[in-house]
Amino acid sequence: MGDGEKCEFIVTKAPLKDLTGKTIGIVTAAIDVTERKRMEKEIQQSEAKFRNAIENLQEGFALFDRDDRLVIWNRMYEEIFAFNRGVVRYGVRFEDLVKENMKIDRVVESVGRNEEFLRERMEQHQNPLGPFELRLTNGTCILVSEAKTPDGGTYTTLTDITKLKQTEKQAREREAELANIRRLNVLGEMAAAIAHELNQPLTVISSYAQGVAAKLRSGLASPDDLLEPVENLIDQANRAGEIIGGIRSLIDKQETRKSAVDLNAAIEEALTLVTPEYQELGIGVTLDLDDGLPWVLADEIQAQQLLLNLARNAMEAMSEGPCASSRLTVQSSQADGDTVEVAVMDTGPGFPFKDREGVFEPFFTTKAQGLGLGLSICRSITEAFGGRIWIESAPGTGALVRFSLPIADVKQLEDA
């Protein structure tokens, strides 16, 4: 104890008696209680600090003891639930607070279903699993977090997340608006590109048809004269049909049905369709498929179309100068716990472009008869299932296109 500090004593006096019971003096005892008083004061001060801290919390706070009776709470806790005067008091049971709250229809989730709500709320309170939200009838949204204390009690914090929810809602609305604008832009670009693409065969059809009409009008045309232009007419009309068919494949992906697909089987099935053409060109095909490949989330037909498009592209790339070493290799493997990857490699001239993302855009083609839809269809198929597709080869070396698809979560598919 420092100099100048006061000492406190409790002084007790008692009469001192002799054997006959006669008082012969007074006994005085003094107990030094300085330390005890100091500790009491410290406890009071720290309790005041603790209460002050709880009171100044931005959140509502309440602590219930092991018998579920309220022991500590702050004003915010009372305000959030708009409890009537005197309801929130020391020792009141949590269940009674919930019932009081239902009387004034404070919580949206309880309105019209008091019994169920009470049951659910008691269950949550007794076995807290993690934060959950409650909507109040005044429009406020509250995040409720509860946890057990080591002595079997429960504490609750209530955070007002109304503003956060509003901001999230606004952000979602803005995102939806932007997505809509983006869709309109894409639609505009697509419409322009489709018009441009269809215009070519239509112009050719028109000029051949005019030629045929002129020949017929002249009365000099023999069937042989007409055969070639009419065949050209058919070719161009077919081309227009292919363009429309390709666009339809792009759009169809919207109604995609997701299921668990054996990707190795889809690869083998797709390659049987192109094998005769590969054999004709004398180009070898190697399949390097992972036996233990998990099934993926996809649509079987679309997965086959994906492979078919890539195998056709590889064949077209290699058909320019096929040689003994020309080869298509398709590899499947599990990339990580969630994804399967397929690599489609060829020994052709490769992708020569700087901006290689461009090849995935609709109507991008370097081929005289190309539609430029194959890779964009591949991209929309992979993305529709949560995968992606990319070019891995360096410019000028044989093409290596790789795509990924998510491993099918059987549980998720059953729930869907």
Binding status of residue 395 toward ligand ADP by CB under 6 A:
no
Other C-beta atoms within 10 Å of 117: how many? 19
Q: What share of the chain is helix, strand, coil (3-state, %, to 5)?
A: 50, 20, 30
73, amino acid identity: W
Pick the binder of ligand ADP from 256, 319, 333, 365 (CB under 6 A).
Answer: 365
User: How many C-beta neighbours within 10 Å does residue 312 have?
Assistant: 15
Residues 330-359 that bind ligand ADP (CB under 6 A): 346, 348, 350-351, 359
Closer by beta carbon to ligand ADP, 329 or else 365: 365
Closest distance to ligand ADP from the beta carbon of 330 (Å): 12
d(CA 329, CA 185): 38
* Interface segment toward ligand ADP; rule CB under 6 A; list 101-109, 222-230, 282-290, 373-381: 373-381
Does 146 contact ligand ADP by CB under 6 A? Answer: no
Contacts 24+ apart (CB under 8 A), 314-319: 314/344, 314/345, 314/346, 314/348, 314/399, 315/274, 315/277, 315/278, 315/281, 315/283, 315/346, 316/367, 317/346, 317/348, 317/349, 317/350, 317/399, 318/281, 318/283, 318/346, 318/347, 318/348, 319/281, 319/283
CB of 358 to ligand ADP, least distance (A): 8
Which residue of 210, 370, 392, 397 would you call a contact of ligand ADP, by CB under 6 A? 370
380 binds ligand ADP (CB under 6 A): no
Query: What is the total count of residues that contact ligand ADP (CB under 6 A)?
Result: 21
Report DSSP state, residue 20. Answer: T
Of 17, 49, 182, 367, which lies in the binding site for ligand ADP, with binding defined by CB under 6 A?
A: 367
Nearest-approach distance from CB 408 to ligand ADP, in angstroms: 27
The answer to the question of residue 62 lying near ligand ADP (CB under 6 A) is no
Residue corresponding to tokens 């051949």: 208
Distance of closest approach, residue 353 Cβ to ligand ADP, in angstroms: 7
Give the Cα separation of 356 and 366 in Å (integer): 13
Q: Report if residue 201 touches ligand ADP, rule: CB under 6 A.
A: no
Q: Does 266 bind ligand ADP (CB under 6 A)?
A: no
Does position 196 interact with ligand ADP (CB under 6 A)? The reply is: no
102 in contact with ligand ADP (CB under 6 A): no
- Separation of CA 385 from chain center: 13
* CA atoms in the 13 A half-sphere facing the CB of 16: 6
String marking each residue 296-325 x if it binds ligand ADP according to CB under 6 A? -------------x---xx--x--------
Q: Which two tokens stand for residue 84?
A: 């009537």
Interface residues toward ligand ADP, by CB under 6 A: 309, 313-314, 317, 346, 348, 350-351, 359, 364-367, 370-376, 399
